[in-house]
Structure 1
Amino acid sequence: MATKKYDVIIIGAGIAGLVAAFESLNLGKTVLIIERNTKEHLGGLAKLSFGGMALVGTPLQRRLGIKDSPAIALDDWYSFADFGTQDVLPKQWAEQYVNESAEQVYHWLLGLDLKFFPVVNWVERGQYKRGNSVPRYHVLWGTGYRLVERFEELLKNHPNQARLSYLFEHKVSDLIQENGKIVGCIAEQENTGQKDLSFFAEQVVVATGGITGCLDKVRENWYKPWGQAPKEMLNGSHPFADGLVHDAVSRHGGNVTHLDKMWNYAAGIPNPKPQFEAQGLSLIPCKSALWLDHTGRRIGPEPMVTGFDTNELCRRISQLDKPYTWQLLNWRIAAKELAVSGSEHNPMIRDRKLFSFLKEVLLGNHRLVRQLQKESDHFIVASDLRELVNQMNHLNGDHAIDYEVLKNEVTQFDDVIRRGKGLWNDDQLRRIQHARGWRSDRVRTCKPKPILDPSAGPLIAIKLRLITRKSLGGIQTDLQSRVLNTLGAPITGLYAIGEAAGFGGGGASGFKSLEGTFLSGCILTARAAAKSIGVGV
């Protein structure tokens, strides 16, 4: 019986894989997508994402009076990335990103009937080094859920849909190489355990995500200058993002780089409804909350405030005595500032309910606060500070937090606020004021008011851990998304896209991301691969 051969095999059905499939069908190619998960999880992490993208020089920025350009963005990128002298390809991908994100992502998605919410957020502003000089964070109306849903529709209704095949619940364990060319891959069926299934194609595209779904690999590749990885971490990725195909690429001569560069988050809580071990939810922590260590002391001397340097927050937390921290706040702050990253906990944006979304923004997202209070034991609500401390210690099963210590910390902060705006000699308050200076952040950041103010209660404490998310390193590729060997030459027949390629070049973001470079990085690298396949490069 003859073995069917495809023009393109795509390993992984995340957004990078779906975009590559769409563009390949546009070229008239026959395509096989092999996905390890079930059909219901088509789209991978993208479907669960908030849908934010860092885009440069868009009409939306110009309408909001934001003066941006590829030159400004590249300067910001280099500041955060801290590239080394050997990072030639990551630098090339960074330059390609800032030059092409408006046309190849923003306008392209608009042309596919996707829309962006009419505000641009300002994230990763930088702390010790400059981050985003201007707001660039564009949010898809409908979140990443709508992005995946739209590409499902595009593939299902494509004129060349008959040329597309899916194979779900199959784990690719190796590649097939003949005469120096990758000609296919080997997989096994996840449920039956049937192994050594061979699939052949002219071109193989790796779109499997990164390594941060495997906590053992995260610890193994932890950035050495930071010391040992925290003993406790949450998984904000998926167990199938385990680097299995990275290893296969290495065995066949591909160069895998910068796996110690990761984009993790500082504010994770255990998922109240986990689908796998150690699954977490990534909170967008409140700027107006006090960030405390395990004893209830404010982390310092420089206070921790989100929105400026996520990587630095992770570094500082990883070097504390205990692998967890606390945020202390009140209901007023939580209702205005707290969010959970992703589509699941943002149903008003995900389902494109504009009136309901605006109502939550203006009146406070009390729905989310009540949901977390009900579902999470790491989200503690109490009527007074002593009761709060008792519950915090009860959750830990110890007496690490002393009531008088915590009372002193929050009272000192509240006293500074009461002195008045002209006397706010506290760096956290300075950063809050800076954030409130931009219109879209002002509506999501509280005007400073004492935390212990009875009218702003009840009080809330949230126990947080580091949560994994994205690999910034990966399989090294050129600007056509072709996989390169250790000598820098393309491996014929093999491509890598999205997170598997470190979003281009094996590490396009360098040490730190400007945030929002992931979904758009998947799109750019996937489109580059398809273009290269189309011209036979």
Structure 2
Amino acid sequence: MSAVLHRCETLVIGAGLAGISTALELLEQGRKVLLLDAGPRSHCGGQANDAFGGMLLCGTPEQRRNKVQDSPQQLLEDWLRVAAFEPDDHWGQRWAEHYAERNKADIYDWLRQRGVSFFPAVQWVERGNFGDGNSLPRYHVAWGCGRGIAQTLVRQLLEHDGLSCLFEHRVLGLDMRNGAVVGCHGRSADGEFRIEAEHVVVCSGGINGDLAKVRQHWDPLYGPFPENILNGTDPRADGALHEQVQAVGGQVVKLGRMWNYAAGIAHPEPQYPQHGLSLIPSRSALWLDATGRRIGPQPLVGGFDTHDQCKRIGHLPGQYSWQLLNWRIAIKEMAISGTDSNPHFRDRKLLRLLWQLFTGNRELVRWMIDRCPDVLAAEDLPQLAGRMAALAGDGQLDPQLLDAAIQRYDAGIRRGPTLYNDEQLRRLQQLRQWRGDRLRTCRVQPILDSGGGPLIAIRTRLISRKSMGGMLTDLHSRVLNAEGKPVAGLYAAGEAAGFGGGGISGIRSLEGTFLSNCILNGRRAAQAIVGYASHT
């Protein structure tokens, strides 16, 4: 049976946030679009549906209301310091410069015009261990989380008559004619298909759902590839189209650069092998190695440098760690990244969210203790140590080392704030100076506190999340070949393109640069297509 043939003006491969943004921009400029995805229609929006919904933005009304005076110049200075671009990161750096200049107008304003709003408190993430991260609070959380962003845009997308959709259609290759990409071919449940298009935009995501590819590209900077790694990305994000782009001459670069997290726990209801959840690490928890020693001499504290956390845990014996805290700390600080783990954000319930911030998230902590295999609770330390040793099963935990680490930390607290001589305590004091963090950071108190409730230990592992490398693109989102020239007819956006230029974040992200760049890249691709079309 011959392949079914479809013809279109612009083919967008991938119905995640980058693909949706590309298609919406094209449709609003009067272009016709065929949107194709390997998943079902119910998954339209891709991984954005599961994301927390944070975006790194500057110069917003939310910043001004929080008395934060930011600028594109300050953002770029921070970005360049953190990214540590190499000489061959030309396009990544160009995209970073473009992001710093245009994020307010092209991302924030664009979303606000479409009905997306943001939580009024701006978060201060990735400050850097030595003040070498975000110099100001910039992390804006969307009301409705990532799903709210994606589904708001999807609803607007589906209102356009110029849109055609093909779901559950998997692309197997790109087609070329006379040196230009002119479409693709693939397979669906109904058989083979071919699509002819004037322009093709690849928005197919990264590689991090395929742990075999994560292993293949693993950077030894993070230690040997961890056999116990968890997967926080849908396995369909397998980078299959990276090879197809290479086959037509496009460059794929820097796949060893990944944005993984250090505080993964096993999902209690796994949907695929090694499925994990990514914790937003408690700042007041003690972070311990497999033996029960406190990781140091510089302690790990969540929210400062994710890149460094992954490096340090990747080099620990067993490549896992423990976070030790008590009930009072947990209900104040415990959180899981993602849409469904934050229902008050997801459902835009401001009063319920504020009540939870002030009184504690008891429901989440109880659920974690009852359901998550990596979360343990006990009434005293000997009992907890026994459960930790049983869960690890490797004979490494030493209860005496565990007890000594906690006793020393608690003794430092009891001396009082004027005598704090512990880097974690100093950081906790700093965190509580910023109103957005004060709501989510417990007052300093001993772990072994009679009023603190049950003790809690959480076994954490590295969790695979995002590709920071990908298809090399210029500022028009055109895929570039080995000579640095555009592959005619071919564009890429979102994670497929390393969020811009084959790696807009360099070696380390300021966080909140992923959803936002899907929008920025996608809109740039659409604008380039429309601009090119108007001159032909």
User: Aligned AA for 1:171?
Assistant: R
Alignment of 1:60-79 (within 5 A): 60-79=62-81
Query: Could you tell me which residue of structure 2 aligns to residue 332 of structure 1?
Result: 328
Cα displacement (A) at 1:528: 0.3
Q: Does 1:210 align with 2:206?
A: yes
Q: Distance in 2 between matches of 1:4 and 1:231?
A: 44
User: Aligned AA for 2:123?
Assistant: N
SS at match of 1:336: helix
Query: Could you tell me which residue of structure 1 aligns to residue 371 of structure 2?
Result: 375
Change (3 A) 1:232 1:111: same
Query: Could you tell me which residue of structure 2 aligns to residue 102 of structure 1?
Result: 104
> Do the aligned residues in 1 keep the contact of 2:221 with 2:311 (CA within 8 Å)?
no
Q: Distance in 2 between matches of 1:226 and 1:138?
A: 29
Query: Could you tell me which residue of structure 2 aligns to residue 519 of structure 1?
Result: 515
> Do the aligned residues in 1 keep the contact of 2:222 with 2:310 (CA within 8 Å)?
no
SS at match of 1:455: coil
Structure 1 unaligned spans of 5+: none
Query: Could you tell me which residue of structure 1 aligns to residue 186 of structure 2?
Result: 187
Match of 2:494 among 498, 504, 507: 498
User: Aligned AA for 1:488?
Assistant: G
Query: Could you tell me which residue of structure 1 aligns to residue 32 of structure 2?
Result: 30
TM-score, reference length from structure 1: 0.97
Q: Does 1:246 align with 2:248?
A: no
Q: Distance in 1 between matches of 2:439 and 2:64?
A: 21
Cα displacement (A) at 1:323: 2.0
Query: Could you tell me which residue of structure 1 aligns to residue 45 of structure 2?
Result: 43
Q: Does 1:296 align with 2:296?
A: no
Cα displacement (A) at 1:224: 3.4
Query: Could you tell me which residue of structure 2 aligns to residue 145 of structure 1?
Result: 147
Alignment of 1:331-350 (within 5 A): 331-350=327-346
> Do the aligned residues in 2 keep the contact of 1:80 with 1:129 (CA within 8 Å)?
no
Q: Deviations over 1:94-122 (max 9, x none)?
A: 01001000011111111111111111100
Query: Could you tell me which residue of structure 2 aligns to residue 220 of structure 1?
Result: 216
Query: Could you tell me which residue of structure 2 aligns to residue 234 of structure 1?
Result: 230
> Do the aligned residues in 1 keep the contact of 2:11 with 2:183 (CA within 8 Å)?
yes
SS at match of 1:117: coil
Alignment of 1:418-457 (within 5 A): 418-457=414-453
Cα displacement (A) at 1:30: 1.9
Cα displacement (A) at 1:188: 1.7
Match of 1:385 among 373, 381, 388: 381
Deviates more, 1:415-424 or 1:167-176: 167-176
Q: Distance in 1 between matches of 2:510 and 2:451?
A: 37
SS at match of 1:454: coil
Q: Does 1:405 align with 2:405?
A: no
Q: Does 1:478 align with 2:480?
A: no
Cα displacement (A) at 1:128: 4.4
Query: Could you tell me which residue of structure 2 aligns to residue 115 of structure 1?
Result: 117
Q: Deviations over 1:263-318 (max 9, x none)?
A: 00000011111111111100001010011111111111111111111000000111
Cα displacement (A) at 1:349: 0.8
> Do the aligned residues in 2 keep the contact of 1:79 with 1:129 (CA within 8 Å)?
no
Q: Deviations over 1:456-481 (max 9, x none)?
A: 12000001110011111100000010
Q: Distance in 1 between matches of 2:439 and 2:223?
A: 38
Query: Could you tell me which residue of structure 2 aligns to residue 16 of structure 1?
Result: 18
Q: Distance in 2 between matches of 1:82 and 1:181?
A: 34
Q: Distance in 2 between matches of 1:106 and 1:274?
A: 34
Cα displacement (A) at 1:129: 6.3
User: Aligned AA for 1:124?
Assistant: E
Match of 2:8 among 6, 9, 13: 6
> Do the aligned residues in 2 keep the contact of 1:384 with 1:458 (CA within 8 Å)?
yes
SS at match of 1:154: helix
Query: Could you tell me which residue of structure 2 aligns to residue 178 of structure 1?
Result: 177
> Do the aligned residues in 2 keep the contact of 1:146 with 1:350 (CA within 8 Å)?
yes
Q: Deviations over 1:435-472 (max 9, x none)?
A: 11111101101111000001012000001110011111
Q: Distance in 2 between matches of 1:187 and 1:323?
A: 40
Cα displacement (A) at 1:164: 1.3
Query: Could you tell me which residue of structure 1 aligns to residue 357 of structure 2?
Result: 361
Q: Distance in 2 between matches of 1:321 and 1:114?
A: 45
SS at match of 2:230: coil
SS at match of 2:119: strand
User: Aligned AA for 1:300?
Assistant: G
SS at match of 1:50: coil
Q: Distance in 1 between matches of 2:503 and 2:360?
A: 38
Query: Could you tell me which residue of structure 1 aligns to residue 262 of structure 2?
Result: 266
SS at match of 1:116: coil
Q: Distance in 2 between matches of 1:467 and 1:29?
A: 40
Q: Distance in 2 between matches of 1:15 and 1:4?
A: 24
Structure 2 unaligned spans of 5+: none
> Do the aligned residues in 1 keep the contact of 2:38 with 2:170 (CA within 8 Å)?
yes
> Do the aligned residues in 1 keep the contact of 2:290 with 2:320 (CA within 8 Å)?
yes
Q: Distance in 2 between matches of 1:319 and 1:326?
A: 14
Query: Could you tell me which residue of structure 2 aligns to residue 168 of structure 1?
Result: 167
TM-score, reference length from structure 2: 0.97
Query: Could you tell me which residue of structure 2 aligns to residue 460 of structure 1?
Result: 456
Q: Distance in 2 between matches of 1:452 and 1:226?
A: 33
Q: Distance in 1 between matches of 2:312 and 2:267?
A: 23
Q: Distance in 2 between matches of 1:296 and 1:227?
A: 20
SS at match of 1:298: coil
Query: Could you tell me which residue of structure 2 aligns to residue 155 of structure 1?
Result: 157
Q: Distance in 1 between matches of 2:120 and 2:378?
A: 37
User: Aligned AA for 1:478?
Assistant: D
Cα displacement (A) at 1:172: 1.3
> Do the aligned residues in 1 keep the contact of 2:37 with 2:169 (CA within 8 Å)?
yes
> Do the aligned residues in 2 keep the contact of 1:141 with 1:349 (CA within 8 Å)?
yes
Q: Distance in 1 between matches of 2:297 and 2:248?
A: 49
Deviates more, 1:272-281 or 1:73-82: 272-281
Change (3 A) 1:497 1:358: same
Q: CA RMSD in A?
A: 1.3
Deviates more, 1:366-375 or 1:29-38: 29-38
Deviates more, 1:77-86 or 1:148-157: 148-157
Q: Distance in 2 between matches of 1:379 and 1:338?
A: 12
Q: Distance in 2 between matches of 1:373 and 1:88?
A: 47
User: Aligned AA for 1:148?
Assistant: A
User: Aligned AA for 2:129?
Assistant: Q
Q: Distance in 1 between matches of 2:431 and 2:124?
A: 8
